[in-house]
Structure 1
Amino acid sequence: MKAWLVVLLGFSISLSAEALSLCVEDADYLPLLLKQDIDGRSGLLPDIARAAAAEHAEPVTLLRHPWKRCLAMLRKNQVDAIAAAFWSSERDAWGAFPKANKRAQSAPDPELRLWREEYRVFVPLAGELRYDGQQFSGIKTGLGAPPGYVVWHSLKKAGVLDETVRSVKIGLQLVALNRLDGYVSERSIGLNMLRTLGLTEQVKLLPQTYYEDDSYLVFSHQFRQQNPQLTQAIWQSLPAIREQQLRKLLAE
């Protein structure tokens, strides 16, 4: 009887009623995101999340939308999870993060992160923009960043955002033409885009990191409440899978 109970409990932890719906940004942000699957790969972020779910026999349905829509859908419990988002105490109101302890306002456990993201400022090779780690100087046209991102809001608050420049691709092209002071992008995404566009000789990175933080696989509160063991199990599977993917990335 006890053996059967263990089997049944294990089954209830591993499976939710339906496939987990995961929303990611609809963008080609290699190596983190792909706009369309290539050879079964969707980019590091969804691939890690999907592999963690697969360890617990949980299928994943991947949805690609503009990032602001992913956030809105999670708030409304229209998707089960998003990949990936930075944590703030305000965001606890609409998303379930992997907490280090049971206190509602505590920070997430960094070991259970999906990825560590570093945002850098990409500028023209002979540009005049400077950043001292606190403030910008030499502003003429402003800086761009992906809409809805934490760095976008930070630039806007600082009064240096050019809201007309939206995508990483267009932003870096304008930087290369010296028509935009700078563009803030996740480092690996920006460097990959420069190689793709053939702009590595026209654009450089400022030495200071603009923003760096852990990003998380965030579940909707509804999914977390309905599947508490499953969500915790998926989070617990992330560290080993993340390290495997990082080693593969470094080897490429």
Structure 2
Amino acid sequence: MQCFNVKPLSLHLSAVLVLAICHPLGADVLKPATEAIAAQPVLTFCYEDKQLLPYYTENSRDIPDRPGATIEHLKIAAEQVGITIKLTRMPWLRCLQQLEDNSVDALVAAYDKDRAHYTEYPKRSDGSADPSLAINQLGLCLAHRFDNPIEHKIAAQQQLTVSRPLGYKPIPFPENTLLIGAQSPDNALDLVINGRVDATTVLCQLNGVDARERHLNLLPLQLLYPPLHQSFGYLMLSKAFYHQHRQLSEQLWQTLPQTLNKLRYLEYLSYPD
């Protein structure tokens, strides 16, 4: 394309005019760097609006300055692969519903075959979930009142009442266990402390290290080791996000184990100190 002579109004303005006239894509050349940044994929991550240490802090829909080990971990991994994280908090069951209808892009959960039809997660060659690419690992123990030893009930296969938050993934329990729904982990603990149920499940192992939340030491509770159940938390992606950003999704899964900081998770067990 032929360029025309332009009488410069100023050195800067004439340069702009020449670019606009001589280059059909001149407008793209002049786009500010902020637009390139804005083009970075955004992953909307949904997590529970109830505190669940060390993963998430505060009982609120707001995002605190110290959001929890999982949030910090995810942000570091996402930054390395070029993904922007947008956080949203709501009740856990709503997070699952919105992932299913692609209203949010991701959450962290254990593998569950009932969720497999609407989630994408790191897989082995045979299609099973790959623990080596999990974002974290945990062990759950039964917590019971110190004056209500439950070992004899378990050994005698007597009825054992256990409280668990609604919507949490089912796990194997001793025979003759009766599950009682709770509104939150704290509510489940209250039911045990008040003698309404025999036990609840609490975190007692974290990324291979035996650990417990510090506030449990202040409660009239004992933990029954070894862990009743071990599970792996996976970054579950929506079908829509994965299919649109397949390569970045795979890179993010690969990066999560590499950026795991066990100390960060352990430190959050003492939140807010």
Same fold, judged at TM 0.5 (above):
yes
Preserved contact between residue 119 and residue 187 of structure 1 (Cα < 8 Å):
yes
Distance 1:42 1:131, change over 3 A: farther
Q: Is residue 2:204 matched to residue 1:187?
A: yes
Distance 1:23 1:168 in 2: 18
Deviations 1:150-181 (A, max 9, x none): 14x756x9651112x33221222332233321
State the shift of 1:63 in Å.
Answer: 0.8
- For structure 2, the residue ranges without an aligned partner over 5 or more in a row are 1-36, 206-210
Preserved contact between residue 30 and residue 43 of structure 1 (Cα < 8 Å):
yes
Deviations 1:123-163 (A, max 9, x none): 0002142389x8884436x2101211114x756x9651112
Residue of structure 1 in register with 2:74 after alignment: 49
Residue of structure 1 in register with 2:150 after alignment: 129
Helix, strand or coil: the match of 1:55? helix
State the shift of 1:89 in Å.
Answer: 3.5
State the shift of 1:246 in Å.
Answer: 0.5
Identity %: 25
Distance 1:51 1:158, change over 3 A: farther
The one of 226, 230, 234 aligned to 2:248: 230
The one of 147, 163, 169 aligned to 1:150: 169
Preserved contact between residue 105 and residue 238 of structure 2 (Cα < 8 Å):
yes
Preserved contact between residue 130 and residue 137 of structure 1 (Cα < 8 Å):
no
Distance 1:22 1:136, change over 3 A: farther
Distance 1:176 1:19, change over 3 A: same
- For structure 1, the residue ranges without an aligned partner over 5 or more in a row are 1-13
Helix, strand or coil: the match of 2:236? strand
- TM-score, normalised on structure 2? 0.72
Distance 1:74 1:136 in 2: 42
Distance 2:166 2:81 in 1: 34
Distance 2:149 2:190 in 1: 17
Preserved contact between residue 191 and residue 197 of structure 2 (Cα < 8 Å):
yes
Alignment size in residue pairs: 224
Matching of residues 203-242 of structure 1 within 5 Å: 203-242=221-260
Residue of structure 2 in register with 1:5 after alignment: none
State the shift of 1:207 in Å.
Answer: 2.1
State the shift of 1:88 in Å.
Answer: 3.2
State the shift of 1:112 in Å.
Answer: 0.9
Q: Is residue 2:131 matched to residue 1:110?
A: yes
State the shift of 1:193 in Å.
Answer: 4.2
- TM-score, normalised on structure 1? 0.77
Distance 1:136 1:113, change over 3 A: farther
Distance 1:96 1:119 in 2: 25
The one of 111, 115, 124 aligned to 1:91: 115
Residue of structure 2 in register with 1:161 after alignment: 179
Helix, strand or coil: the match of 1:219? strand
Distance 1:17 1:38, change over 3 A: closer
Distance 1:147 1:162 in 2: 9
Distance 2:156 2:77 in 1: 40
Distance 2:156 2:46 in 1: 34
Matching of residues 11-30 of structure 1 within 5 Å: 18-30=41-53
Indicate the structure (1 or 2) with the bigger Cα radius of gyration.
2
Distance 2:51 2:248 in 1: 30
Preserved contact between residue 34 and residue 43 of structure 1 (Cα < 8 Å):
yes
Distance 1:139 1:92, change over 3 A: same
